[in-house]
């Protein structure tokens, strides 16, 4: 594995460029659903646990994912279908699959189990 960055997750999130920065309300991170907080936390935990060689590994995928959504939706982030954390989780999924942390079929299988009601939600 490559040597890992040593920036704190707090500083990484604080200084994310506007185009990839998480939504905030009154300066606080804004999560509308529990899964948004969990997906956010998973990416940060992976970085803190040095599962990522750099934050850029994730950030570049997030930028690409947002660009794909904008292209498919005529670049209108004010579209009511826009959800920052949907792009975040898609970028995270790409990262874990592309780096070999988990196989795409396992992601798809677990997603299908959840959608079919065969897998329970887990919130800590």
Q: What are the tens digits of pLDDT across the range 72-93?
A: 887 566 778 889 999 999 999 9
| Strand-pair partners of 28 | 25
CA 100/CA 80 separation, integer angstroms: 34
Integer Cα distance of 61 and 4 in angstroms: 18
> For the segment 14-64, what is each residue's pLDDT rounded down to a tens digit?
777 777 788 888 888 899 998 899 999 999 999 988 888 888 999 999 999
- 66 near 75, Cβ under 8 Å? no
What per-residue confidence (pLDDT) applies to 5? 53
CA atoms of 42 and 79, how far apart (whole Å) = 26
């Amino acid at each position: 594995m490559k040597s890992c960055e040593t920036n704190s997750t707090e500083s990484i999130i604080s200084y994310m460029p506007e185009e990839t920065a998480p939504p905030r309300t009154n300066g606080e991170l804004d999560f509308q659903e529990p899964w948004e907080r969990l997906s956010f936390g998973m990416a940060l935990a992976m970085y803190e646990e040095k599962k990522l060689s750099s934050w850029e590994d994730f950030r570049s995928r997030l930028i690409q994912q947002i660009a794909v959504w904008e292209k498919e939706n005529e670049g209108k982030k004010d579209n009511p279908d826009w959800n920052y954390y949907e792009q975040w989780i898609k970028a995270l999924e790409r990262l874990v699959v592309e780096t070999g942390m988990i196989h795409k079929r396992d992601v798809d299988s677990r997603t299908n189990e959840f959608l079919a009601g065969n897998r329970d939600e887990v919130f800590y």
